[in-house]
Amino acid sequence: MSNIQERVVKTIVNKLGVKESEVVPEASFTGHLGADSLDSVELMMDFENEFGVEIPQEVAESMQTVGDVLNYLEEHKDELK
Amino acid sequence: MESKRVVITGIGTINPIGNNIEEYFHNLENGVSGADTITAFDATKFPSRIACEVKNFDPAAVFDRKELRKYDRYSQFALVAATEAVEDAAIDLEKIDLERVGVVWASGVGGMQTFYDEVMGWAGGNGTPRFSPFFVPKMISDLAAGHISLKYGFMGPNYSVTSACASSNHAMLDAFNLIRWGKADMIVTGGSEAPIIVPAVGGFSSMRALSTRNDDPKHASRPFDKDRDGFVIAEGAGALIFEEYEHAVARGAKIYCEVAGCGMSADAYHMTAPHPEGKGAKLSMRLALEDAGISTSEVDYLNTHGTSTPLGDLAELSAVQDLFGEDAYKMNISSTKSMTGHLLGATAAVEALACVFAITKGIVPPTINVEEVDPAIDPKLNLTIGTAQKREVKVAMSNTFGFGGHNSTVILRKL
């Protein structure tokens, strides 16, 4: 597991109280991981805090799965803290 | 339309002298003070550094991580107390009509700590709004009622009531009225408050409303004593299940007592100070007696608002004597705030529970910490000083008043 992935998984587990094994790239926040719309907004804010980036609102709203977040962060690797 | 009778079939609490009903009743009887030095935050620089805090309560042991993010402390207290009351009422959720079960829940301010945290976060940032999506729903004072309905699927009338320190009496009055008018079979009612936080203690301090007996917190809440110097702020919740009498009988419910009547009024006098002769308080008590069809001679126990402030205690007793005349000497009077402190919007619910205690156990809870009764108070009044008194209590009356001049009275009666 890459360092980014580890931190993403940890953030999600902390927030949603799900098992680490459930947080796979295909898992959707609202479908598989039991988040509601408010949880999802707060999760995006947690990723921003964790990685020191600002995710534009329209991008944040389009991210449905753990994989979407991983891809975005990988693409912006150089801007992360 | 024939008015229906309303009874109490379930009770629950978490407050400074009891994390459940059994503990609360035990400490009420034994005159235990819930006051101590504030531990919730560093109050070193505050004029009042004492409070009645809830003890040994670990939210993480009661709620999961997701719930904790959604529940302000005032909602946590609400859920703890309401859960105990619902379980006590032994409601079979499969058998009752959930559309006929409501929640009318009070809080004076709701999630003030949530508001404070979020605004402080904003103030410490760079101007970009970073408010949590849970900020608003966690803060607003109606959400405890919402959370209780979510937990059990109660689909009847659901809202919150706010009238400062009278809030949970007004919630109970609404619950009583809704049931007797046939709008619901059962209502979870009461109130919760979580005010032992920087902005609330700071704000009440500025009003000079709080006791500053910082070196002797256990004796700081001393209603009717000549050296009383303000109230002791407190936190917690009280919950009661109000139920239509026939409904309760049909399901074989245990019945604690009947809700006999209620009264409410306004002082229309001052923003925060009580009317010196308690004109509005008298009106509220008179209307409650009329509503219950009870005469002043029938009241065995009066649980006063009695906050331990210099003005308030005198105004209330003046109203009592004006209304009750000679009968004022026959009843027991006490202020259980001497033990619990003042739970603001939750106080009336916790005091209604003290009345349930008096009726069901035949014991009047005491006013503790009175060393010398204020010479301005008629010495012939029985203020139940020091220790609990045995007495058959058929009728108990409970007053609460709130900033804004709100007055409210509830009368409970042995069935």
pLDDT one-digit tens code per residue, B355-414: 999 999 999 999 999 999 999 999 999 999 999 999 999 999 999 999 999 999 999 999
Average pLDDT of span B84-100:
97
Write down the pLDDT at residue A1: 64
Q: What is the DSSP string of B142-197?
A: THHHHHHHHHHT--S-EEEE-BTBTHHHHHHHHHHHHHHTTS-SEEEEEEEE---S
Mean pLDDT (chain A) is 93
Which of A32-46, B41-55, B107-121 shows the lowest mean pLDDT across its residues? A32-46
Phi then psi for residue B344, to 5 deg, are 50, -120
B134–chain A Cβ distance below 8 A for any pair = yes
B317-329 residue pLDDT tens: 999 999 999 999 9
Per-residue pLDDT at B66 exceeds 90: no
**Annotated catalytic residue A36:** yes
**DSSP state letter for B23:** H
Residue reference for tokens 């379930």 = B10
Interfacial B residues in 28-87 facing A (CB < 8 Å):
64-66, 69
Mean pLDDT (chain B) is 97
Write down the pLDDT at residue B379: 97
What tokens appear for B244 in the block?
């239509």
* Per-residue CA distances from A49 to A11, A80, B114, B342 (Å): 10, 10, 19, 40
Sorted by sequence, the CB contacts under 8 Å of residue B168 that are 6+ apart come out as B106, B161, B189, B190, B191, B238, B345, B346, B347, B348, B349, B350, B352, B400
Per-residue pLDDT at B311 exceeds 90: yes
User: Checking phi first, is residue B412 left (phi over 0); if not, alpha (psi -120 to 50) or beta?
Assistant: beta
Interface test with B, best of A14, A38, A54 (most B CBs within 10 A): A38
Per-residue pLDDT at A68 exceeds 80: yes
Tell me how many residue pairs between chain A and chain B have CB atoms under 8 A apart: 20
CB atoms within 10 A of CB B23: 15
Contacts of A39 in chain B (CB under 8 A): 66
Q: What is the ipTM of this complex?
A: 0.79
Per-residue pLDDT at B65 exceeds 90: no
Residue A8's closest CA among A79, A72, A78? A72
The answer to whether B223 and B335 have CB atoms below 8 angstroms apart is: yes
A27-37 residue pLDDT tens: 999 999 999 98
Report the gap between the CA of B65 and the closest CA in chain A (Å).
Answer: 6
Helix (H) or strand (E) holding A48: helix A37-51
Write down the pLDDT at residue B128: 85
Q: Three-class SS of residue B7?
A: strand
CB atoms within 10 A of CB B295: 12
Average pLDDT of span B228-240:
98
Pairwise CB contact (< 8 Å): B137 & A17? no
The answer to whether B225 and B373 have CB atoms below 8 angstroms apart is: yes
Phi then psi for residue B50, to 5 deg, are -125, 155
Per-residue pLDDT at B188 exceeds 80: yes
